[in-house]
Structures are given as structure tokens and as C-alpha cells.
């Protein structure tokens, strides 16, 4: 049982950033914009979040307060960066994949340049400890306590809150339903008075906010609060895209997909701690490949019935109505 | 066409002919993006260290001139990965997996280089071919997934970037002939496996660049002059129409991805088999679980070259040229990353430079009283094949 607790405790800080970023991708694609720039948005958010932590870490504020403020900074940074994507792909009707790729390329270079010139390193190193050993009261609960409220980060709980918000926003509000209409059939949406450009800006902006927060949470939960321009967010933005497709653009399924991936990844990095797997004597690299291979296998079986938003990737042109 | 030069109608046609040349519009939009990107880079330099900005910028612009050999040498791998990305783009496939294919190609070339014993020049030729096979294999898989199981090729190729990287690192570390664990690098390749140098002093430029350019030209011919190339582009324009016209979309997807993979694999082979200026040494590979950057640079190269094979040759040379300048800019205190910023900004602007060009073109057409509804096709693609042939003249 301890092994199970250990795996879940380590899985959640990895899975939550994936979940948030994939939810962001979902909002963007549901509005009709393919957001391949998630990787860059994550890194941008992580960078500004870590920069904020770096400057306030000696101010004497509590670590969880700093985490919340850093999250806010990362969200704003992600939002601003995502505006570059929405400007190019909605207003200028540029190719969304090209724009996204360029935004992904830009950020690592900016971080490396900035960090090398001002910190003389490849990134930002903070020494803030966000780790929570045990949450009072809740941590004492049987089973649930050790799974979710011990040896964890505040990011995990915030992640679940965002999941709930995302479900309500997408399915239960007028905004969410309109957003989905813009991704399915923008001309029809336009004909009943919905401003497609505005909705697409909103979709991409939500993905910017969630992407920025996801990047910051990645740096908190996986990188110990540091950010490096070299390793960046280790392809998590792209993985989030895979998780989103795996989750069929639906929040709950995205949650399950993110946790599936995070579980396999955690397993790969803790093989030596699990006697049963360690005894098999399989090269650890196979386990590292496992999350990617498993995602491929699942996609191979589910993609036949794949239902992507119909109008994603196509700039909206009013004159073609 | 001899006697009607004076007629206003034909003059209009002439203007239209020039603006309709596919090369013309891609060229002007690339040029516009490059100028905007360089201006942005200059401002970044001004912001970072104002005193040296002018000197640094001069290095960026002119620095490559003194190192033409290196410009060609460093252009070789990114030209191949650029062709790999661009070729798949012609069919509407986004091959983001050039990194994995590149790494696979490199591994196959290394394996043949170390483990096979062939006479003389056979050895490096065999290693290059092995690299191509390795890349093809890694391109084939996303192709099969896409064609048979409808899995988005962007996701597959990203996944296979990681799988390939881990696999290659593991296989290299597990092979005592190839890997020296004390140096955490691969061993030096024997000189017979290295591609012959072109003999330009101070540079490792080798036959690889010649091969790479030849491959670019071959791809151009395949795209413009063969049925396969026509089908490929037709599928890229509208896959439903192509399917309706009886083209085998699925087979073509698999073939296209295999070819793209092979091109990227060749890039990996050219990079690792390059000769070294120091006798007795060679290029080495360090298995540190990092995705090959040359694959992603290939995306930039292809996008700047409008996915056109000939355009890709020039854009690879251009990017390599300003990268050389960027490394020189470190003499006045700038970091080479400044060039990556410039390149990213160029790609960003090139995405709408094409749109601006479209707007300009349709403006000209409207003034000629001709409403052309064909201006909304995928911005990266060219006009129809007949026009492209005229453009080549």
C-alpha cells in the first residue's frame, strides 16, 4: 500500500501541469484555433513565475502565498504571450501551426539569452520550498489523506479546482456553448450573432492562462521551482496536446488521460523502488519509453472514432459565409 | 506575343504574370519577414547592451562572409531536416518528428561505421545509406499510424522523437565498441567512414553539402515532374478531392512520410560522418537524453523556404549564415541565442507576410478588374503546377 501511496503522491504533481495545459489546449481548439504553442506558453509562464519567486523569496512571505502570487504572475504572462498567437492566427488569419512553432522557438532562446546575460546561468534557480509534508485535518483521513493530502504541493488541489471550473465553464455556461459552436461551425455561430473573432480570442486567452499556470506548476512540482532554457518544460506542452487528443477534447477524459500518462512516467522513474519491477531486471530506459509507447497504442485504438472540433485550424473568414 | 506589347490588356497580363509567379510571392514574403526579424533582433541587442549593439549587429549581418566554408558545413544537416519537413508539408502533413528521424539516421550511420568492415569508400557510402534507412524507418511509423489508424501525425512524431531518442541513447550506451563510458561519448569513427572533405581550410565542409543540394533538386523534380509529386500536392490542397479523383491517399501518406524520414536520417548521417580537422578524431555523439536541435531547426528552415525544395536550400544557407554571424557577435558580449530569437521572429512574421502578400496580390488583381477567388488556399502552398513550371524559367 505504501508503494501505491508513493506513486500517487509523485504522480499528481506531474499530472496536474499536464491536465491544466491540456485543458488550455482544449479551450483553444474548441474555439477553432490549434494551439501548438503550448510548450512556449508554458515556458513563458514558468519563467515569469520563477522570476517572481526569485525576487520575493527573501521577503519573508509564506511559501504558499508566494506560490499563489507566482501562479497569478504566470497566468498573466501566459495570457500576454498567447495574445501573440491569437493576433496572428485570428486577426491576421495566419497559419496557426507556423505561428505556434515560431512562438515555441522564441522562448527558450529568450530565456537563455536573458539568463546568461543577467544570471550567468542557463535559467533561474530559486531556493523556495513549496513542498507540503501534511495538510492539517485532511491529511489524517484514511486512504484519501495519504493519497492527496500528504507529501504534496498546493498545486495539486488548485489543479482539481481548475478542472471543476473548466467543466462548468465549457458545458454549463452560455460562453462555453458559444465557444464550442465557434470551433464546430463558425459561420453558423456568426449567423446567430456570435462574434467569432472575440470567442477565438477568448479561447486562446484561456489556454494562455492555463498554459502559463501549468508551466509554473511544472517548475514547482517537477523542477523544484527552477526554470532552465535548455531543458525547458521537457516537451510537456506537446505531451499535453497528445493528452488532449487522447482525452477527445473532453475535460474529464483529459483528466484521466493526464493521470494515465503521469502514472506511467512516475513508474518509469521509480522502478528501483518497486521490488517487483526491479527484480525483472529490464533496462530502465524501456520504462522511460513506456508512457510514450502506451500513449501511441491507446491513440491507435481510439483515433478511428476521433472527433476533433470541425473548424479547428481554419482561420475564420466572414466573406466565405 | 511579339506584336502586342502596346496593348493595355496584355500589359495587364504581364503584371499579373509577375505577381503570379509562385517564387516571386514566396520570395518577397520571406524577404519582408527577414527584414522585420533582423530589425527586431537589433532592438533586442539595443535593449540588452546598447553600447555594442551596432558592432554586434554588423557581426550578425557580415560575420558569415569570412566563414563561407562553415556556413555550408553547418547548413548541411539543417538543409536535410528542412527538406524532410517541407516535403511532408507539401502533402499537408506536419512532420515535427524530424528530430527523431535525424537521431535514428545518425545511429544507423554510426552502427554501420563501427560494426561493418567494408573496403575503402564503400564504407562511408554504406554508412550514409544506412542513415537514410534508419530515418525512413522512423518516418514510416507515423505515416502508417496516420494512414491506417487516423492518428494525428503531429502527436505520433512527437512521441517517436522521445522514443527514438531514448532508444538510440540506450543502444549506444549498451555497445562497448561504439561507446566510451569514461568520456560519456561515442568513440572516434575510423577515417574511412568519414565523408571526404572539400578541402576548404579552417572548415569541415564536405561532400555532404553537395549531396544535400542534389537531393533538394531531385525533390523539386519529383514534385514538379512526376505523377507522384502531382498527387502529393493535390492531396495537400484538398485530400477529399484527391481521393475522389482516384488518388491513393493512404499509400501516398506512408510513402511521403518514409521519404521525409529518409531525408532527415540523411541529415543525421551527414552530421555524424563529417570529417574532423584534427587527424585521428571525428564527430562524436553524447547520449544525454536531449532531443536533437537540428530537427527543430529544420522546421524553421522549411517554413522560411515556403516548403519549396529550392527555397529550402537558400533558407538553410541563410539561417546557417546568420548563425555563424551570431557566434561571432559573442566577441562583443552577445550570446549566440540572439540568432535563435531572430529566426523565431522571422518565422512568426513570415506566417503573416504571406497573408499580407495575398492581400497585396488580390488588391492588384482587383484593380485589374478580375476577382480571383482562388486566393484563399493554404498559404504555404504554391499555385497550380503549370504556374510553378513557368516560375522556374
Q: For residue range B102-115, what is the model confidence (pLDDT) as tens digits? A: 999 999 999 999 98
Stretch B89-98: mean pLDDT: 89
Q: What is the CATH number of the domain that holds A286?
A: 1.10.3470
Nearest in space to B86 (alpha carbons), one of B236, B198, B205: B236
Burial class (CB within 10 angstroms; exposed 0-12, middle 13-18, buried 19+) of B381 = middle
**Chain A with chain B: Cβ pairs closer than 8 A:** 139
Q: What is the pLDDT of residues B301-347, one digit of tens each?
A: 998 888 899 999 999 999 999 999 888 888 888 888 888 899 899 88
What percent of chain A shows pLDDT beyond 90? 43
Task: Say how many C-beta atoms besides its own lie within 10 A of residue A262's C-beta.
Answer: 25
Of B49, B300, B351, the CB nearest to A95: B351
User: Domain residues for A228?
Assistant: 2-306
A189 touches chain B (CB under 8 A): no
Mean pLDDT of chain B, nearest integer: 83
Let me know if residue A317 belongs to a domain. Answer: no
CATH topology of domain B34-392: ABC transporter involved in vitamin B12 uptake, BtuC (1.10.3470)
Asked if B335 lies within 8 A of A300 by C-beta distance, the reply is no
Q: Is residue B221 very low, low, confident or very high in pLDDT (cuts 50, 70, 90)?
A: very high
Question: What integer pLDDT is reported at residue A18 of this predicted model?
Answer: 94
Question: What integer pLDDT is reported at residue B12 of this predicted model?
Answer: 53
Whether A94 has a pLDDT exceeding 80, the answer reads yes
Mean pLDDT of chain A, nearest integer: 88
Nearest in space to A14 (alpha carbons), one of A261, A279, A199: A261
Mention every residue, 6+ apart, whose C-beta is less than 8 A from residue A266: A7, A10, A11, A14
The rounded distance, in Å, linking the Cα atoms of B342 and B39 is 9
Let me know if residue A314 belongs to a domain. Answer: no
Let me know if residue A319 belongs to a domain. Answer: no
* C-beta of residue B185 within 8 angstroms of C-beta of residue B286: yes
Nearest in space to A235 (alpha carbons), one of A285, A282, A288, A299: A288
- Nearest C-alpha in B relative to A289: B163
- Nearest C-alpha in B relative to A113: B337
A169 touches chain B (CB under 8 A): no
**What ipTM is given for this predicted complex?**
0.87
Please give the grid coordinates belonging to residue B184: 560519456
Helix (H) or strand (E) holding A191: helix A186-191
Asked if A95 lies within 8 A of B163 by C-beta distance, the reply is no
Which of A54-58, A233-237, B356-360 is predicted most confidently? A54-58
A91 touches chain B (CB under 8 A): no
Q: For residue A286, list chain B residues with Cβ-Cβ distance below 8 A.
A: 170
Q: What share of chain A is helix, strand, coil (3-state, %, to 5)?
A: 75, 5, 25
The rounded distance, in Å, linking the Cα atoms of B106 and B270 is 8
Classify residue B184 as left (phi > 0), alpha (psi -120 to 50) or beta. left
pTM of the predicted protein model: 0.84
The rounded distance, in Å, linking the Cα atoms of A52 and A67 is 10
Distance from B156 to chain A by nearest Cα, in Å? 7
Stretch A269-294: mean pLDDT: 81
A95 touches chain B (CB under 8 A): yes
- Note which residues in 237-266 of chain A have CB less than 8 A from chain B: 238-239, 241-242, 245
Stretch A93-118: mean pLDDT: 86
What percent of chain B shows pLDDT beyond 90? 34
Residue B38 vs residues B35, B74, B204, B220, B304: alpha-carbon distances, Å: 5, 20, 28, 29, 14
Residue A112 vs residues A119, B132, B321, B323, B337: alpha-carbon distances, Å: 10, 33, 21, 16, 7
Question: What integer pLDDT is reported at residue A301 of this predicted model?
Answer: 82
Let me know if residue A313 belongs to a domain. Answer: no
Total structural domains within chain A: 1
Of B151, B166, B338, the CB nearest to A289: B166
Amino acid at each position: 500500500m505504501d508503494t501505491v501511496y508513493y506513486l500517487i503522491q509523485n504522480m499528481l504533481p506531474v499530472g496536474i501541469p499536464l491536465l491544466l495545459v491540456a485543458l488550455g489546449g482544449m479551450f483553444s481548439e474548441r474555439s477553432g484555433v490549434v494551439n501548438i504553442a503550448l510548450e512556449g506558453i508554458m515556458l513563458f509562464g514558468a519563467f515569469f513565475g520563477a522570476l517572481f519567486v526569485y525576487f520575493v523569496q527573501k521577503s519573508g512571505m509564506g511559501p504558499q502565498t508566494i506560490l499563489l502570487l507566482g501562479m497569478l504572475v504566470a497566468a498573466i504572462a501566459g495570457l500576454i504571450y498567447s495574445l501573440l498567437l491569437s493576433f496572428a492566427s485570428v486577426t491576421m488569419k495566419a497559419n496557426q501551426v507556423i505561428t505556434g512553432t515560431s512562438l515555441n522557438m522564441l522562448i527558450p532562446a529568450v530565456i537563455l539569452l536573458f539568463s546568461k546575460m543577467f544570471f550567468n546561468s542557463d535559467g533561474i534557480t530559486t531556493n523556495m520550498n513549496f513542498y507540503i509534508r501534511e495538510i492539517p485535518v485532511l491529511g489524517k483521513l484514511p486512504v484519501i489523506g495519504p493519497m492527496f493530502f500528504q507529501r504534496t504541493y498546493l498545486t495539486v488541489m488548485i489543479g482539481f479546482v481548475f478542472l471543476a471550473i473548466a467543466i462548468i465553464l465549457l458545458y454549463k455556461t452560455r460562453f462555453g456553448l458559444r465557444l464550442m459552436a465557434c470551433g464546430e461551425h463558425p459561420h453558423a455561430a456568426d449567423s446567430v450573432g456570435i462574434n467569432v473573432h472575440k470567442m477565438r480570442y477568448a479561447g486562446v486567452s484561456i489556454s494562455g492562462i492555463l498554459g502559463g499556470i501549468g508551466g509554473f506548476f511544472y517548475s514547482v512540482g517537477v523542477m523544484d521551482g527552477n526554470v532552465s532554457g535548455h531543458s525547458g518544460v521537457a516537451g510537456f506542452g506537446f505531451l499535453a496536446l497528445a493528452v488532449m487528443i487522447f482525452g477527445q477534447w473532453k475535460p474529464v477524459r483529459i483528466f484521466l488521460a493526464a493521470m494515465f500518462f503521469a502514472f506511467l512516467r512516475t513508474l518509469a522513474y521509480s522502478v528501483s523502488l518497486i521490488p517487483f519491477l526491479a527484480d525483472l531486471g529490464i533496462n530502465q530506459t524501456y520504462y522511460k519509453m513506456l508512457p510514450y509507447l502506451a500513449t501511441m497504442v491507446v491513440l491507435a485504438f481510439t483515433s478511428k472514432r476521433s472527433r476533433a472540433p470541425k473548424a479547428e485550424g481554419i482561420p475564420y473568414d466572414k466573406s466565405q459565409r | 506575343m511579339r506584336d502586342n506589347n502596346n496593348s493595355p490588356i496584355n500589359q495587364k497580363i504581364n503584371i499579373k504574370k509577375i505577381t503570379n509567379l509562385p517564387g516571386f510571392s514566396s520570395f518577397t514574403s520571406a524577404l519582408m519577414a527577414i527584414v522585420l526579424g533582423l530589425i527586431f533582433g537589433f532592438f533586442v541587442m539595443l535593449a540588452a547592451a546598447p553600447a555594442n549593439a551596432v558592432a554586434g549587429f554588423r557581426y550578425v549581418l557580415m560575420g558569415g562572409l569570412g566563414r563561407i566554408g562553415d556556413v555550408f558545413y553547418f547548413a548541411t544537416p539543417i538543409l536535410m531536416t528542412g527538406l524532410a519537413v517541407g516535403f511532408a508539408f507539401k502533402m499537408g502533413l506536419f512532420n515535427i518528428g524530424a528530430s527523431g528521424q535525424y537521431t535514428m539516421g545518425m545511429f544507423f550511420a554510426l552502427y554501420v561505421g563501427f560494426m561493418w568492415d567494408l573496403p575503402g569508400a564503400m564504407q562511408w557510402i554504406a554508412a550514409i545509406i544506412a542513415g537514410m534507412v534508419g530515418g525512413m524507418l522512423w518516418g514510416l511509423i507515423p505515416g502508417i499510424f496516420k494512414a491506417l489508424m487516423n492518428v494525428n501525425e503531429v502527436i505520433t512524431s512527437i512521441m517517436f522523437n522521445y522514443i527514438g531518442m531514448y532508444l538510440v541513447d540506450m543502444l549506444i550506451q549498451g555497445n562497448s565498441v561504439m561507446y566510451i563510458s569514461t568520456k560519456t561519448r561515442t568513440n572516434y569513427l575510423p577515417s574511412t567512414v568519414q565523408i571526404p572533405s572539400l578541402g576548404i581550410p579552417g572548415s569541415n565542409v564536405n561532400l555532404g553539402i553537395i549531396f544535400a543540394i542534389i537531393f533538394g533538386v531531385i525533390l523539386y523534380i519529383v514534385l514538379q515532374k512526376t505523377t507522384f509529386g502531382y498527387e502529393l500536392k493535390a492531396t495537400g490542397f484538398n485530400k477529399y478531392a484527391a481521393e475522389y479523383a482516384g488518388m491513393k491517399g493512404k499509400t501516398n501518406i506512408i510513402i511521403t512520410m518514409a521519404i521525409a524520414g529518409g531525408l532527415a536520417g540523411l541529415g543525421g548521417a551527414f552530421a555524424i560522418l563529417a570529417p574532423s580537422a584534427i587527424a585521428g578524431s571525428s564527430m562524436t555523439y553524447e547520449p544525454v537524453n536531449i532531443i536533437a536541435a537540428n530537427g527543430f531547426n529544420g522546421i524553421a528552415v522549411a517554413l522560411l523556404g515556403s516548403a519549396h525544395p529550392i527555397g529550402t536550400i537558400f533558407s538553410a544557407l541563410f539561417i546557417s549564415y546568420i548563425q555563424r554571424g551570431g557566434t561571432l557577435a559573442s566577441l562583443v558580449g552577445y550570446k549566440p541565442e540572439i540568432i535563435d530569437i531572430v529566426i523565431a521572429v522571422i518565422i512568426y512574421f513570415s506566417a503573416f507576410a504571406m497573408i499580407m502578400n495575398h492581400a497585396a496580390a488580390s488588391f492588384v488583381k482587383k484593380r485589374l478588374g478580375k476577382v480571383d477567388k482562388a486566393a484563399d488556399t493554404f498559404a504555404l502552398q504554391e499555385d497550380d503546377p503549370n504556374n510553378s513550371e513557368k516560375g522556374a524559367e
